[in-house]
Amino acid sequence: MKLVNNASFQRMESALFTAEARQRVISNNIANAETPNFKRSELVFEDLIAQQMGKSNEKIQGNLTHEKHISIGNGNLGLPTAKLVTDQSTSMNSTTKNNVDLDAEMALLAKNQLNYNLYVQQLNHEFSMMRIAITGAK
């Protein structure tokens, strides 16, 4: 029995990896705030999830974890992967043609850090509950 291979842990792991990748993208934007012709990038994940969930006319699909399982729907139900998008359309600074807004990037960095901390706390709570279930004590 795989205790840490369930859907809850997989979602938390995915959220942690996405927050870590987003941290690198935002840090790169901040580091290149003064670089001429640099265009900011963004890691899009939540929007893709919302789009996937908004498709009401699609059939329910099951996640096959064993080859003897009966197939439900058209295949495995998977979350979309994060997508790196570069904003080529805007320009904050007319002399350098750079579109990085340092204040906005710092706010995104703070928000991402809070999200990351929340995911870590949630994982710690899950492991704590597992420890209590196994040992019977905190």
What does each of the 138 residues of the chain score in pLDDT, given as a tens digit?
Answer: 455 667 777 778 888 888 999 999 999 999 999 899 899 999 887 766 666 566 544 555 667 777 776 666 554 445 557 788 888 877 776 777 888 999 999 999 999 999 999 999 999 998 898 889 888 876
Q: Give the integer Cα–Cα distance in Å for 110 and 89.
A: 25
Helix (H) or strand (E) holding 84: strand 83-86
Is 73 a domain residue?
Answer: no
Is 107 a domain residue?
Answer: yes
Is 128 a domain residue?
Answer: yes
Containing structural domain, residue 20: 3-38+100-135
Dump pLDDT digits (tens) for 64-102: 777 776 666 554 445 557 788 888 877 776 777 888 999
Is 72 a domain residue?
Answer: no
Is 80 a domain residue?
Answer: no
Name the maximum alpha-carbon separation found in the chain.
65
Is 116 a domain residue?
Answer: yes
Helix (H) or strand (E) holding 130: helix 102-135
**How many CB atoms neighbour CB 98 within 10 A?**
20
**Number of domains observed in the structure of the chain:** 1
pTM over 0.85: no
Q: Give the integer Cα–Cα distance in Å for 113 and 107.
A: 10
Is 57 a domain residue?
Answer: no
Is 20 a domain residue?
Answer: yes
